[in-house]
Amino acid sequence: EQHRFGVEQRARLWTKNARPPHILVMTATPIPRTLAMTLYGDLDVSVIDELPPGRRPIRTVRYTDAARLRLFGFMREQIARGRQVYVVYPLIKESEAMDYKDLTDGYEAISRDFPPPQYVTAICHGKMKPADKEESMRQFKQGEAHILVATSVIEVGVDVPNATVMVIESAERFGLSQLHQLRGRVGRGGEQSYCILMSGEKLSRESRARLEAMCETSDGFRLAELDLKLRGAGDINGTQQSGVALDLKIANPTADVQVLTLTREAAAALLEADPALADPAHRGLAELRSRYAAGEARDFSKIS
């Protein structure tokens, strides 16, 4: 789950060794900086683009509050079939600064619409005591709870094959990689699974683009490319993982993948033939490399 770590955190892992080790990073959705590094040639990539045997693609739709009764009816249908449901919120409590659905109110509303003892609803968020959180997860994994109301703490490491519905409230509040990771909590068994993105009526252009992309594709790499386009690549030679445009005069990393691949191959071949760039024909490249090396000092022991 490489996207869950910062650049310096990852660097601290490999600097524990006397000799820098080989590194294998894994993620369903590469963050912008990581994707930019693959385009630039700093990472070799293996893409696993097939579902495990017996699994079906997850159906993803976007609803607004006007469809909430329809959503609850669908949840009841799935529970009646013996399935389980996640409902994820971006916030634990209501925020004055942000007008988004919150877990506290959501849990109360779901408990009213899905009353006990017919329905059992568990709750899980980052501010709970570890023992309470573990008990909620145990209830859900063992099938004792029909619905798990949670924050994005369940984004990774949760495997409940019987859960077939992921409802994400205020989905516009989440980034593409988070949305894709949350969607990946369902579809782990042989039954058809669903991801329902609940959002407001009015969305920014960027939010709309994110949610439309989620409905159109389950391809983590395509989503990562859109994320790179929307958020910027970050600093390849620094620690910022998004939000910084790549300093390219002409090329566009998301549109010119083939050009970057050819450039990488040409650079590798040139350096293999002339590692020191001593050939007079390579004098210009040697000067550029010297100017770059003499530029802003960077501590690469903190960069991964």
pLDDT tens digit sequence for 223-251: 887 877 777 665 555 555 555 555 666 76
Share of the chain above pLDDT 90, in %: 41
The predicted pLDDT at position 14 comes to: 77
Q: CATH 3.40.50.300 spans which residues of the chain? A: 59-218
Q: In the structure, what pLDDT confidence band is assigned to residue 101 with cuts at 50, 70 and 90?
A: confident
Quote the CA–CA distance of 149 and 89 in Å, as a whole number: 8
Task: Name the least confident of 42-56, 60-74, 119-133.
Answer: 42-56
User: Measured between alpha carbons, how far is 108 from 139 in angstroms, rounded to an integer?
Assistant: 18
Top-confidence residue, 223 or 63: 63
- Range from 33-42, 69-78, 97-106, 287-296 that averages highest in pLDDT: 69-78
Structure confidence at residue 31 (pLDDT): 74
Alpha helix ranges (H) inside 87-235: 103-113, 130-141, 176-183, 205-216, 220-231
What CATH topology corresponds to 59-218?
Rossmann fold (3.40.50)
pLDDT mean over 128-137: 93
pLDDT value for 242: 53
More confident residue, 187 or 26: 187
Q: Which residues pair with 102 in a beta bridge?
A: 91
Mean of the pLDDT values across residues 132-148? Answer: 95
What is the pTM for the complete model shown? 0.76
* pLDDT of 39 above 80: no
Rounded Cα–Cα distance for residues 15 and 20 (Å): 7
Residue 48 has pLDDT above 60, yes or no: yes
Q: Would you say residue 173 has pLDDT above 80?
A: yes
Give the percent of the chain with pLDDT over 70: 85
Q: Which residue has the higher pLDDT, 121 or 2?
A: 121
- Does residue 128 have a pLDDT over 80? yes
Average pLDDT (198-214) is 91
- In 3-state terms, the chain is what percent helix, strand and coil (to 5)? 45, 10, 45
- According to DSSP, the residues that pair with 149 across neighbouring strands are 87, 123
Res. 252: pLDDT tops 80: no
Given this model, what pLDDT does residue 156 score?
74
53 burial type by CB count under 10 A (0-12 exposed, 13-18 middle, 19+ buried): exposed
More confident residue, 240 or 256: 256
- The per-residue pLDDT for 169 is 94
